[in-house]
Amino acid sequence: MATTEGSRRVIHFHNLVNHNIHYKSKHDSVKKNPSWRTWISLANTMMGSSIVVFPVVFNQSGIILSVICMIVMAVILFKTCQWYLQSTLNYELDLTEVIKRTLGMKWYLVYSISNCFLLYFISIIYFILACSFSYPVIKVIIDSFTSDATVMRSQTSFDKYSYQWQGIALVGFLFLLICQKNLQCILKITQFGMLSVIIVVLFCFIKGVENISTGDVSDIPLFSSSVVTIIGVFFLSFQVHSLFLPIVKDNAIQKNNNRDLKVAYAICFTVYAIIGIFGAFAVTGKDPVDGNPGSTILEFYSSRDIFTVIVQVGLFIYVIGVYPIIVLGSRNNLFMLLEMKFPDLSKKKIPFYGITIFYSLSSLLIQILNINISILISISGYFISLFVAIIIPVLIKVRGPKTALGNIQNMHNFVHTTEDLDISQHDEQDNKIMTSSHDHDHEQIKQDLENMQASTKEDQKSKKNGESIQSNQIGSTNSYQDNHSTQSSKKPNKGLKDKKQDQNDEKIVLHHQNSHKIKRVVKKHKAIENQQNNNNQEEQVGSYHSSNRL
């Protein structure tokens, strides 16, 4: 079988991945982040504005039981995220590439569909949070100018300004944002995500300490039988699986990725514990105000409190900035799946605006029905995150994280993306072997191997007639001959004996050179055999675009 372009790619891939030949890509030329920045990026990605529900679920489920559930879920989700990290090859920058290589296209589609629905439900959650943060502030402003113009949030009304009208007004504004394909301006808002988390931490801590100082915390529960909701909340809150890989790939010291992932989870656990425990003390003995359902800690405090207003406005701005990005990620995943059957569907206006309208109206419908946000978070955690955060990483762990060549299509894609890599060759013989792979076919490689093995056997016979010389004392043939000529001039009576010794030494050097060459050709021979075994896979696997990262 002749050495085709595919077999040359196999050899190229084999040397790059399995033999750690140094290469430098365009991605490597980008300035890398220190570990502390990686910690913040991972923690910021993991934490969202849904942390405002922690005080309520801690108070309902019991503080001790909630902490136990949080520890269990944090450990489980960290391990599955770690399995993803351990299964990643150096050139893979997105989790979809890892899944396609290790599990194939079937599980890649499962992951893409699950991730699409996960982002869809998160967009609904963020829309409801945006309405719940903004309506109390708008209501206070309207009531300060006129009376009897608004209604309580729990009331459904279209005659006065109500929670329903707030959703309608907000969905119109957000629709204009999510129709934009360039979100560079909006992305700047997300840089202040950690600031919003700090504000929530301070709010929960201060309000919790105030409530503890008044002694109104005697009836706070420690345990309860209500664990279903809180496990679902933690299931979603500790999930960073679909977004962590691009972040750790920008880490300056790649060997610290595992440690930095641990630190990020530890940071999130600490923040969640502070918000949950002190927030639970903050809402104990209190009832929701202004007809609020009591889904978040802010609904237990009046919007006339300046501290509460600051937190609500800050979180509202952050949620408004994140919502279009989440919709964009989910919509792009959906179009990517649909374009497998209908090419260029995303470029057509009717499908684009149709799907965008669906996202907007479905979010508005859930908001008008006033469904408890904790239920939505639990559903997202149990039924959707299960595939991304549990099933798929477990399958990767069971089947083995790394294969020699993996999926043949991913291997070809990798070679295409590395055509302009600067590959440093450490040995001149390696250059000759890599060059010969383009000129010799499969049978020629076998013949070369047989010839070198025969030559090695002859060298071994010749070696028995000479004196044994340690391999680490053998230099190049030219330097040895120079040294030998100097010694011969000093001892002319031993010329014949030294000449024979010189011939034996030359054969020993040739033997070592052939041994190294045999090893290289064997590696190349194995690579071509692996390519033959994977030809059937190449016919079955199609070419798909990588999923757009959020």
CATH of the domain at 315: 1.20.1740.10
DSSP structure string for 470-527: -GGG---HHHHHHHHHHHHHH-GGGHHHHHHHHHHHHHHHHHHHHHHHHHHHHHHHHH
Tell whether 3 is covered by a domain.
Answer: no
Residues 399 and 433 in one domain: no
Number of domains within the chain:
2
Residue 80: both structure tokens together: 């599955």
Domain match, 120 and 235 both: yes
Within 10 angstroms of residue 459's Cβ, the number of other Cβ atoms is: 20
Identify the CA nearest to 42 among candidates 301, 293, 302, 262: 262
- Within-domain flag for 10: no
Same domain membership, residue 375 and residue 321: yes
Same domain, 82 and 123: yes
Question: In sequence order, which ranges of 2-94 are alpha helices (DSSP H)?
Answer: 5-18, 26-29, 35-46, 54-61, 63-86
Residue 529 covered by a domain? yes
> Domain check: are 401 and 432 in the same one?
no
- Answer yes or no: do 209 and 110 share one domain: yes
Task: Determine, yes or no, domain membership for 300.
Answer: yes
Tens of pLDDT, residue by residue over 59-80, are: 988 899 999 999 999 999 999 9
Q: Same domain for 441 and 367?
A: no
User: If pLDDT is split at 50, 70 and 90, which confidence band does 459 have?
Assistant: low
DSSP-derived 3-state class of residue 23: strand
Q: What is the pLDDT of residues 227-286, one digit of tens each?
A: 887 888 888 889 888 888 888 888 888 889 999 999 999 999 999 999 999 999 999 888
pLDDT of residue 259: 93
> Looking at 406, 437, 463, which one is the last position of a domain?
406
Over residues 155-165, the pLDDT tens digits come to 888 888 999 99
Residue 501 belongs to domain spanning:
428-533
Domain co-membership, 398 together with 499:
no
Q: Which of 340, 372, 406 marks a domain boundary?
A: 406
Q: What is the maximal distance between C-alpha atoms in the chain?
A: 123
User: Residue 99: inside a domain, yes or no?
Assistant: yes
Q: Is residue 340 part of a domain?
A: yes
**More reliable by pLDDT, 170 or 439:** 170
224 lies in some domain: yes
Are 138 and 247 members of one domain?
A: yes
User: Which DSSP category does 94 fall into?
Assistant: S
For 66-70, 393-397, 477-481, which range has the lowest pLDDT when averaged over its residues?
Answer: 477-481
**Within this chain, do residues 459 and 353 fall inside the same structural domain, yes or no?**
no
Last residue of a domain, one of 406, 438, 465: 406
Shared domain check, 376 and 485: no
Residues 454 and 329 occupy one common structural domain: no
In a domain, 538, yes or no: no
